[in-house]
Each structure stands twice: as C-alpha cells, then as structure tokens.
Structure 1
Amino acid sequence: MTQDDHTNEKQQETQNKTANAVDTDLPTAETDNLEEDLEAAGFPGMDEGMLAQVQEMMGKLERAEELEKENAELKHRLGRLAADFESYRRRTQEDVDAAQGQGMAKAAEALMPVYDDIDRALSMGQEDPARLIPGLQAVQNKVLLVFQGLGLEATGREGEAFDPRWHEAVQVVPADQDDVIVQVYQLGFRMGERSVRPARVVVGKKQ
C-alpha cells in the first residue's frame, strides 16, 4: 500500500466516523454534561466558542418547548373562558326575558279589572246614557290606581307649578300667576326621577 493510499484510507475513516456521530446520539436539552455528551457523540476537543454556541442553541430549544406548552395552556384557558362567558350571557338573557314576561303579565293582570269596568260602563250607557260619564270616571280613577301600583305617578294637573322636566308647554296664556298650569291637554307620568311621558299643558304668565 502506498503512502497516498494510506492517507486516503485515514481520511475516509475520519469522514465515516463524523457521519456516524451525526446520525447517532446527539445531545438533548436534558443533558447533565454537554461537553461529555459531545465527546461521546464523536466531537472531542470542541473549543469554548463552539461549545457556548451549542449551549445557546440548546437553551433556545428548551425555551421554545416551554413557550409552546404555555401557548397550549393559554389557548385552553381562553376556550374555557369563552365558553363560560357564553353560558353567562345566555343565562342573563334568559333572566331578562323572564323578568320582562313577568312584568307584562303583572301589568296585564292589573288592567283586567279595568277592562271589566269599561265593559260594564258601556252596557249601562246603552240603557241610560246619563250613567255613562260617571262610569267612565270611575274607570279612569281605577286606571290611575293601577298605574300607581306599578310605580307611576301622574303629573301635570291644573294648579301645579310648571316644571320642564315633567311638563311640555304647548301654549302660554296671560294669568294671575307665573309658571302655573292652567289647562291640561294630556296628563303626564313619571317613575321616580325618570319621565315616562311629559304632560302637555297650557302655562300661565303674568302680563
């Protein structure tokens, strides 16, 4: 065997050794001693710069795995949160619908006796028209009582002081007092500090 053949054989052995080392056990992020693992894998005598680069790469790989786990956990928590919120929204809407239904049923139940009174007043009016007006006045008073039971307060009667929060002046006429309601076109209603319907009134002004 010539010297050149011997040299080529050595180079081939070195290349085969390197290839086999790459294909076999590479160090992982869980290694206890990276330098020893690299030597065992066929990379003896690695300088500090290369070793530092490998350690940095392994650290990044480990961090990437941690971030992937955190991302999966956050996605799971977000999905649970979205599902909980949807359930809460649905329950809240059901409660609102139920409360509205109960309120309408309560109002309708309170107005049923008023309907009965109107029916009786019309029957009496057909027999004796003179009795129709007193009957309707009684029905009107009962309606006001029903409204009061529902939390409504009538406003805008004659003699009241004009208040733009509750009253709408449709006309101003000369009067002995300023800002006093002298005529009512349409009675108003309020619920606490909220105007449900403003009264349409005529307001007096001193000349």
Structure 2
Amino acid sequence: MNPETPNHPDPKSVAPGEVEDLVDLNLDEVGEPDLQALADAAASEYKTQMVPEMDLAELGDESPDGERRVDLESALTEAEGQLGEMLKREAELMEQHRRLAADFNNFRNRVQRDIALAVEQAERRILLEMLPVLDNFDRGLGASYQDVETFRSGVELIRRQFLEALRRLNVEPLPLQVGDPFDALHAEALTTFSDPALADGAVAAIYERGFNLKGQLLRAARVVVNRLSDAEKS
C-alpha cells in the first residue's frame, strides 16, 4: 500500500447495506463541507420526527392564558349586568325625584293658598267684630239726647262694646293706672310733669293706653312721668 495514499476501504469489500453509513472524508477531492447547513438540516429532521404538529386553538383553551381570558369574559359579563342594574336604579331614583319635586311644588302652592285664606279669614273676623261698633256710632249720631249725661251714657255703652269685641280677638288693655310706677318695658314716656301728690317716677297721666295680644305686648302705652325736684323729694 502506498503510504501517501489515504487508507480508504475498498467499495467492493463493503456490504451492500452499509453504503449509506459511509461518509467521504477526502476533503482534498470534495472540498470543505458547510457545517451550519448540515446542523440545520439535522435539527429540522429531528424536530419533524420528535414534535408532531399540535392544534393551537385547543392548546390555547387549556392554557393559563385561556383560563384568564374566560375569567375576564365572565367578569365583563357580570360588570355589564351590574351596570344595567345601576342604570335601572338610577332611572327609578330620577323618576322618584321628579315625583317628589312635583309633590313639593304642589304642597308649597297649597300652603301659600292656605296662608292667604287664613289671613283673609282673620281680616274678615276683625271687620265683622268692628262693624257692629260702627253701627252703634251711626245710631248715636242719629239719635236726639235730652242732656249731656244721656249722650255720655250712650258713648260709654259703645266703648264697652268695642272693648268686648277686642277681647274676643284676644286683645286686652294693659292694667296701667295713674300713680303706678313707670315701666319702660310696657310704656313710653312722652314728657315729665311735677305733681307733689304723686311719687317720683310714677305715671302722672296716660295719653294712649297700651294693649296685649295673646299675652304679648301689642302696643306700649304712652304716658307722662312724674318728676319731683330735690326739694319736693325731701
């Protein structure tokens, strides 16, 4: 055998079934092989044999991402249902608010009418109480009197009738008399007067009588207050 010639097996001495396993290593005759291409081809063949094709749609339904998608769809459906209920409740509340506003407006109008009617009835009551007094004044002016005392008695009768009408309207005169101490809460001092027969600070004269309405001051009395000098006091 020639030492410079590579030791290649004789094709005639190789069994027929072993031809596919032989690799030609004579780089001088064939040239440098593409190792990357060989590696890619081997990997592709291995992947084709070991990893069969799978249905990605079925895989997606069984993956955690698929479960998360189902949960999100369920939450979205529930949220849409809650939103629908909230919108329905809002519509009911708006309708209730509209009805309450209408009822309040009707109530306010009714109260205003009742107040106006009450004021009108109170005015009518006062006038009906005063008209008989006016009638007696008209009769007194049309009558003839024999003397002044008879005329005075008629006027006194009308005055009592007028006071009785005021009493029915809950109006009472203040119990203030000449000689009573001056009370600034129920009386107004118009001026002063000096009368030694009266105490200092007493009511010397009543110019206008005061009145109470249902226990509250309606009009203060207007009076003259007695003021004594230092000599008169001593």
TM-score scaled by structure 1?
0.65
Deviation at 1:153, TM superposition (A): 0.7
Residue 189 of structure 1 corresponds to: 211
Asked if the contact 1:154/1:188 (under 8 Å) is kept, the reply is yes
Seen in structure 2, the aligned counterparts of structure 1 residues 206 and 52 have a Cα distance that, compared at 3 Å, is farther
Query: What amino acid maps onto 2:185 in structure 1?
Result: R
Query: What amino acid maps onto 1:61 in structure 2?
Result: E
- Determine if the alignment matches structure 1 residue 150 to structure 2 residue 150: no
Distance (whole Å) between structure 2 residues aligned to residue 79 and residue 103 of structure 1? 36
Deviation at 1:172, TM superposition (A): 3.6
Q: Which runs of 5+ in 2 are unaligned?
A: 1-56, 230-234
Deviation at 1:201, TM superposition (A): 1.3
| Correspondence 1:37-56 to 2 at 5 A | 44-45=61-62, 46-56=65-75
Deviation at 1:133, TM superposition (A): 4.6
Distance (whole Å) between structure 1 residues aligned to residue 71 and residue 190 of structure 2? 89
Distance (whole Å) between structure 1 residues aligned to residue 101 and residue 182 of structure 2? 52
* 1:175-196 deviations in Å (ceiling 9; x for gaps): 5335432211211111133221
- Determine if the alignment matches structure 1 residue 97 to structure 2 residue 116: yes
Identity %: 26
| Correspondence 1:43-192 to 2 at 5 A | 44-45=61-62, 46-124=65-143, 130=148, 132-155=151-174, 156-174=176-194, 176-192=198-214
Alpha-carbon RMSD across the aligned residues, in angstroms, is 2.9
Seen in structure 2, the aligned counterparts of structure 1 residues 112 and 69 have a Cα distance that, compared at 3 Å, is same
Query: What amino acid maps onto 2:178 in structure 1?
Result: E
Query: What amino acid maps onto 1:149 in structure 2?
Result: R
Distance (whole Å) between structure 1 residues aligned to residue 203 and residue 193 of structure 2? 10
Q: Which runs of 5+ in 1 are unaligned?
A: 1-38
Instruction: Give the secondary-structure state (helix, strand or coil) at the position aligned to 2:211.
Output: strand
Which of 74-83 and 85-94 deviates more? Answer: 85-94
Distance (whole Å) between structure 2 residues aligned to residue 132 and residue 79 of structure 1? 69
Distance (whole Å) between structure 2 residues aligned to residue 169 and residue 47 of structure 1? 99
- Determine if the alignment matches structure 1 residue 203 to structure 2 residue 233: no
* 1:17-71 deviations in Å (ceiling 9; x for gaps): xxxxxxxxxxxxxxxxxxxxxx9xxx84553333333333333222211111111
Query: What amino acid maps onto 1:183 in structure 2?
Result: A
Seen in structure 2, the aligned counterparts of structure 1 residues 179 and 47 have a Cα distance that, compared at 3 Å, is farther
Query: What amino acid maps onto 2:205 in structure 1?
Result: Q
Instruction: Give the secondary-structure state (helix, strand or coil) at the position aligned to 1:101.
Output: helix
Structure whose CA Rg is larger: 2
Asked if the contact 1:124/1:132 (under 8 Å) is kept, the reply is no
TM-score scaled by structure 2?
0.59
Instruction: Give the secondary-structure state (helix, strand or coil) at the position aligned to 2:184.
Output: coil
